[in-house]
Amino acid sequence: MVATSSTLYSAMRHFFSMLIPSHVSIRFFWFVTFFFLGLTYLYISAYNPYQPTDKEWLVNPNFKLGFDHWKLSNPKQIKQDAFGVVSLSLSEFKKYLALYQRFRIDSRFSQREEGAERTEPLLLQLSGVARTFSLGQGDKAWHQGRFSLVFYDEKGKRVSINAVPLPSHNKQWREYRKVFEVPKQVASVRVNVNILQVKGTVQVKEMHLVPVELKPEAKILQILGLLIWIGMMVWLLFGYAQYVWTKSKMTMLLVLVLMFGAIMSGDMKLQLMNQLPELLFSITPSFVVDRDVLAHFLFFFVAALVMIGVFHSKRWWQVVIDLILLGLFIECAQVFVEGRVAEFMDLVVDISGIMAGGVIAGLLIGWQRYLKKMSC
């Protein structure tokens, strides 16, 4: 089996070396990487893959009727100017400020003329146009200005909180948008514009909550985008294939787990993470470790430790760059997976794991060389 794998790898390497010389291949790889990064950025920033399936669910979404149908947690700190712009302002920490609507989901379906019933899965797109001024840093990562969607079951018990974080300071008007899948047990929903435990100001022009579905062409784009980034990951790791096939089954398993984790759906990931023990603690006020963060760190920590330690045909910095690119490609692939989103903080955690694993691998290699020198 090993001999067959080595023969296959040698044949593939010979074929690609004839097709594209090595120096051209590296340049071509970087060109293709930046090209697909650009296309992925356009997909995220300029393309909405969802289309409405029903009318607007919020009443008075653009505040033309003032605060009609909206509830205010503190009317003294929520104001509307002559142009219709609503401002939420907190002057001290440890406070909560919210502008919100809450309603039953079935009440929205009952308003439809055709009397259509709720279908599964139900996707809701929460969006709003806002700008922010000098929002401070809270004690927790979720202490921020944000739009949020809170789901409740039939008994009024909270099922989940789904947030669209707002930047700490952005004086330009910008639309923030995100799609959430509604769990089957959800009976009512609350839409919030809020400031949680931080000082600063959030201004909002309009809010929208609309049931949506994926556009037909978007499904094709998602499959194509996912295949592209899986292909980029395979291309990136191809140079490691011979060693992986012949000597390091652990590395092969690790890579397969990473790639499977990248392309699993949001529902599958949630079910998997729920099987793990609950974990939540703060390292700094702005950096909170949970199960997802720990998984990212450990996977890339072990990957760096193993790959730098055993792949002697590549210099340590080449392995580090390859692993950082792998983390980037994984985040790009998640853009095209249902229920997953690319997170910049995930990439930061990946890089932290790579650096930590790289440092330890370097120390171990140095120690081995020192012992070998002393024995001579």
CATH of the domain at 89: 2.60.120.260
3-class secondary structure, 287: strand
Q: What does the DSSP assignment read for 331-342?
A: HHHHTTSTT---
For residue 70, the Cα-to-chain-centroid distance in whole angstroms is: 30
Domains contained in the chain, number: 2
- pLDDT exceeds 70 at position 376: no
d(CA 299, CA 261): 10
Same domain flag for 93 and 8: no
Same domain flag for 115 and 194: yes
pLDDT of residue 225: 94
- pLDDT exceeds 60 at position 220: yes
Comparing 15-19, 82-86, 99-103, 197-201, the range with the smallest average pLDDT is 15-19
Of the three residues 180, 198, 213, the one that is the final residue of a domain is 213
- Residue 284's pLDDT band, with cuts at 50, 70 and 90, is very low
Same domain flag for 341 and 276: yes
Bridge partners for 327 per DSSP: none
Same domain flag for 194 and 275: no
Same domain flag for 14 and 116: no
For the stretch 44-88, pLDDT in tens is: 888 888 999 989 999 999 999 999 999 999 999 999 999 999 999
Average pLDDT, integer, range 202-220: 94
d(CA 303, CA 138): 33
Average pLDDT, integer, range 246-267: 65
d(CA 109, CA 44): 30
- pLDDT exceeds 90 at position 188: yes
pLDDT of residue 118: 58
- Residue 209's pLDDT band, with cuts at 50, 70 and 90, is very high
For the stretch 32-48, pLDDT in tens is: 999 999 999 999 888 88
Q: Could you give the count of Cα atoms lying within 13 Å of 170 in the half-sphere of its Cβ?
A: 15
pTM of the model: 0.66
* Token digits of residue 176: 């923030």
Q: 252 lies in which domain range?
A: 2-45+216-375
Same domain flag for 253 and 343: yes
Same domain flag for 332 and 208: no
- Residue 286's pLDDT band, with cuts at 50, 70 and 90, is very low
Which of the pair, 44 or 291, is modelled with greater confidence?
A: 44
Please give the mean pLDDT across all residues of the chain: 81
- Residue 189's pLDDT band, with cuts at 50, 70 and 90, is very high
Same domain flag for 137 and 87: yes
Same domain flag for 99 and 230: no
Of the three residues 180, 213, 246, the one that is the final residue of a domain is 213
d(CA 78, CA 218): 39
- Give me the residue label for tokens 């089954």: 249
d(CA 196, CA 142): 8
Using alpha carbons, select from 17, 39, 30, 43 the residue that is nearest to residue 232.
30
What sign does the dihedral 143-148-149-154 (CA atoms) show? positive
Same domain flag for 106 and 172: yes
Same domain flag for 176 and 34: no
Of the three residues 213, 240, 275, the one that is the final residue of a domain is 213
Which of the pair, 339 or 151, is modelled with greater confidence?
A: 151
Same domain flag for 185 and 240: no
Percent of the chain with pLDDT over 70: 76
- Residue 10's pLDDT band, with cuts at 50, 70 and 90, is low
Using alpha carbons, select from 50, 55, 328, 90 the residue that is nearest to residue 210.
55
